[in-house]
Amino acid sequence: MSSDVAVGASAVEAAVGGHVPLLAGSTVILTGASGGIGRTTARVLGAAGARVALTDLDAGALAPVERELREAGTDVLAVAIDASDQAAFAALHERVAAELGPVDGLVNCAGLFEIAAFETIDATAWSRIVAANLGTAAAGCLAVLPAMVARGSGSIVNVASTAGEYGSISPAAHYAAAKAGVIGLTKSLAREAGPAGVRVNALSPGPIETAALRATTPEQKALAGSRTLFARLGQPQEIAAGCVYLLSPLSTFVTGHVLRVNGGALL
């Protein structure tokens, strides 16, 4: 990572913190909280003043994220669930509301990417990818929307992907289809919940420097970065900042939108 990118990334938390943090007093549920983007988003949500409920499949992976936020002074709750399980998510929502307060925001960051040629994708693989990407977003929205609509406020951010907009560059049609479904879900729920004052948006990342990309060859990373107008990979902090914007009072007239944080990879 270049020095200017490092400085910009480290400045994100200061920017969202400020004199009056952008999410001060709000309660946000974050799925996929132990992943590369998820863990950074958790930290930035805390810096922005939110009370944060973390969830992921693996309790062991959640523990260090919870500890990091708690040590930084964030009110945090961590609960391991399968975020595609509607009953489990409904129970999580009830617990969060009881322990942290009414849920003001939801970031559906949980997801799973697998490379597979279409003719090799069996029903099990298809269902697994759709559940991990679209099913988690749907379960989260089902859990939090009724209370948000009843209160007349709230903001949901569904993390999509450029693959859901123009197809997957790597063979992963099931992933692209699921992420396209996330975008369709987002726009439909924005129409349904908008009259009640609830906002539903999607954030579509381009190539981001996460563990998955760091595990590839230098040539593969360079190719991914070359697809952006900055000729570099995006940083998790840049995705987290977009989530904070969509959750915050800065975006009160934004709904049904796909925020492209992709470095110009898709214009």
Instruction: Identify whether 154 is part of a domain.
Output: yes
CATH code for the domain in which residue 93 is found: 3.40.50.720
**Could you list the pLDDT tens digit for every one of the 267 residues in the chain?**
444 455 455 678 777 877 789 999 999 999 999 999 999 999 999 999 999 999 999 999 999 999 999 999 999 999 999 999 999 999 999 999 999 999 999 999 999 999 999 999 999 999 999 999 999 999 999 999 999 999 999 999 999 999 999 999 889 999 999 999 999 999 999 999 999 999 999 999 999 998 777 767 788 788 888 889 999 999 999 999 999 999 999 999 999 999 999 999 887
H helices present in the chain, as ranges: 3-17, 36-47, 59-71, 86-99, 123-130, 136-151, 163-166, 173-193, 211-214, 218-226, 236-247
Instruction: Identify whether 184 is part of a domain.
Output: yes
Instruction: Identify whether 55 is part of a domain.
Output: yes
Helix axis angle, 36-47 relative to 59-71, nearest 10°? Answer: 30
The catalytic residues are: 175
- Residue 204 CA to residue 180 CA, distance in Å, equals 10
Instruction: Identify whether 266 is part of a domain.
Output: no
Domain limits at 150?
A: 3-261
Q: What is the pLDDT of residue 1?
A: 46
What's the number of CA atoms in the CB half-sphere (13 Å) around residue 56? Answer: 22
Instruction: Identify whether 33 is part of a domain.
Output: yes
Total of domains in the chain: 1
- Residue 6 CA to residue 120 CA, distance in Å, equals 40
Nearest to 41 by CA among 210, 201, 258: 210
Q: How many CB atoms lie within 10 A of CB 243?
A: 29
Instruction: Identify whether 133 is part of a domain.
Output: yes
Instruction: Identify whether 267 is part of a domain.
Output: no
Q: What is the pLDDT of residue 54?
A: 98
Q: Would you give the distance in Å from CA 156 to the centre of its chain?
A: 10
Instruction: Identify whether 91 is part of a domain.
Output: yes
